[in-house]
Structure 1
Amino acid sequence: MFRPRKDKSNAMKKTLIAFAFLAIGIMTNAQPIITSGEYWFNNDYAGKIHIPLTPGVNVLFNSGIDCSQLNTGMHNISFRFKQSNGIWSAVGSQLFLKVPELTPGGEAICEMEYWINNDYSTRISLPITSTTFYTFQSAIDLNYLSCGIHTFNFRFKQNNGSWSNVTSQLFNKTPPVIAGGGLLKGYEYWIDDDYQSKTSQPITGSSSFVLISELNFASVPTGMHHLNIRFQQADGSWSSTLSEAFIKVPLQSDNRTITAYEYWFDDEYNQRIQQQIEPTANFFFAAPLDVAELSTGLHNLNMRFRQDNGIWSSSATQLFMKQPVNDGNNFLTTYEYWFNTEFENRTIINGINEALYTTNSLINIENSDQFINIFHARFKDLNNTFNYVDHYYYSIDLQIKLMLEGLYSVANGQMRKSQNETGANFNGSIADTVTVEVHEAVAPYNLLVRFYGIELNTDGTCHLQRSGTDFINLPGSQNTLFHLVIKHRNSIETWSQAFEIGPVSTFNFTDSPQKAYGENMVNANGVYLIYAGDVNQDGTID
């Protein structure tokens, strides 16, 4: 839906935005039907809305969606559909702009046109009776399209002759079910992108198969990896590739054992999954990770382990890309990515020939020359069809120096190590951990990203080196100035002065009171410290 506007000063009233959704089917032994759906805005999955549907193999949901509670500006709508076998589709996401409400007499919509993929020459034009709100609901002929991923594009024309921006939506056309093709006759698996070293095994014809086998990972180096597996049907066609992340942890050298682990996606630490394990010096993590609720695109997987002395390891973070679902008879052939407007300097990777391609080891973030970027990626399949993924992306390598009053020793200019009932909370030179936030430096000072558990050394230094797409709020301006916000469980929340953050930056709170917003620090012989004593985090010293 496109709603034109005449004046940015117009008061905002109730706004409705309509989207057309094409559900993605998943091929099984019997063709499933789509029975229900749900959608939500931004990261508010708790506020999801149920989509009432008439069950069917192909469903076109096209209805008014109430956006009256959203602020004017950029937002994200996410949606997914449930099949009769209980399986949910991957989450589809779409950015949209909510504009102020029109005043009476504003420009109206008089025409719409749509086309598939890049074939603008075959576009379909539809005249519209002049209106300021329009819901598109019409049968679309897709019989001539090949199976695979395609793009549905549309735009609207106002009665003053101007056209809206083009809105594009990915969808997947699945092949018809082949009778008798559901029996499995084999499978193959491989680690990371090393398909050439795959292991293949036969299966006696069966419609279902449980893999219970000892997988040898002795030659796999320590760190995060992907286990990829796919199954072949009796008719020779292959399933889509299933890919699961796992971490091979190093051997412990101090006789400590691992007793628990936890992991979470992006910045959603409050939704972490924690698991107790039998104490062991060597632990191999290989478990299914549910990414159904993640949108297509770039994400971070974070994981850490707890020892028998209660100390947690540093978090291991791995960037990965969730790609659109593809059918087993199609393959990706080319992968390209670029940052911001550098399409001419894009990185091109040919010769993929895989249904699922793991890109985590091939994203060169050194091409990013600023803190906040837009990451663009596209994949080409055997049908020479491109699908696109665009995301805001941050790349930060920030050296920070700060001192906490509660731990600072004037005698040696260092911080003491925080303690618990058994001794120091952390090993080595780590004094404590802090939470670091990055806010925009223009009103309303939106929170962009938050990083938990940043290790703070006794000399006051901490190193923040992260990249990802897990923005809490998308950037609302092109301003390059930002505020750092330091939070600690027993200290006053402290904001930095506004300063420019690039991909590599430094900031020292300790050398000047002006480094903190409002000069809100305490002077200890020329070293400026963050106030201590805010036990209940209400902003005042207790």
Structure 2
Amino acid sequence: MKNKAFFWFVFFIVIINTKAQTYINSYQYWFDNDFSNAIKSPVTPLDQDFILNENIDGTALQNGMHVLNIRFKDDGGLWSAIASQYFYKLPIHATANKLITGYQYWFDNDYTNAIETQAETPLQEYVLLKDLDATVLQNGMHVLNIRFKDDGGLWSNITTQYFLKLPIHANSDKKITEYQYWFDNDFLNADGETLNNEQNLVLIKSIDANALSNGMHTFNIRFKDDGGQWSSFISKTFLKASADVANNQVIAYRYWLDEDFTNAKYIDIDTPATLINLDESLDFSNISIGDYTFNIQFKDTFGKWSAIVSSDFSLNALNVLENDFKNSIAYYPNPTKGMLNINLGVNYDKVTIQIFNVNGQLIKKEILLNMQKTILHLDYDAGFYFITIKAEEKNATLKVLKQ
């Protein structure tokens, strides 16, 4: 939650089904009862399912409680019912340097069972990465509501997101058959690609944004399974910069685990470059067995940070079939896309590493001298592999899944 002095982020999903092939061509909003100063804006291009993602100017309003009213007009000249939302405008000084101390969420209208969580470290910019337990919900459409609390004891506006809970059997062994993406509210020009029934999809693709103007935009993407069901769409805000960034370079990166941004590690890149292939051994030797989320960001010449890239991994004792190194050995991520970090905890004069497939065939053997940390590159087919490590009188056998 990052407070701004005069603007509110307004997010509406509006579906009007007054008749077949009806399109939304404009919307109109006003504050409180001041309809005489209502502001009308066109929708371009026309859209049946319109997602409004705008900053609404409230500079003329006094501090205190207000109502935002909005309605939508179709191409037949009919207006929708009015949607109203209460909000509280704070004084400018009241929002300066505020820290987020916690958040609260609930499903549907069940506020009595809302769950409140305190942030381990109060932050001005808070990235929430958390699994929310929805096991008690029935299958079907639901609403997730969430709000954030600052160090002054004030709550933010409520952010609401619709989602569909499917039966357990409906999710098992589903394959991804298609994805679809679009920019901003331009769903009519959505693009996409048909896939070959992928269960675990890693999408790496260059997206053409040449037609976009410079400035802030939103990238939206969703995925379709072999049952014909679309996922919820994922939206990410990004900045399209002017052509003067052609010579921009990556100069540094920072990374952290889970929500522990306070202890993020900052690394300067010795040789800045436009494209960075990060092939480094990152030190997580002090973490214990469990599930983690790895987060990383990159910094450019202009001092701007990229979007956060996150990946889940597990440090699991069940995947260590033999271990004379005890708790000093660590390897991650597992599963891996191909790069595996190994840390033995201390330095050994001679280390022998062997990689076997599930049939017991030796694929690769390495002998490393004066080693504590190394990176293995599993440039093989997807599947399980067994890695044996021998150093002095110690042995370990690791089970690794290559995706």
TM-score of the superposed pair, with normalisation by structure 2: 0.31
Structure with greater strand percent? 2
TM-score of the superposed pair, with normalisation by structure 1: 0.25
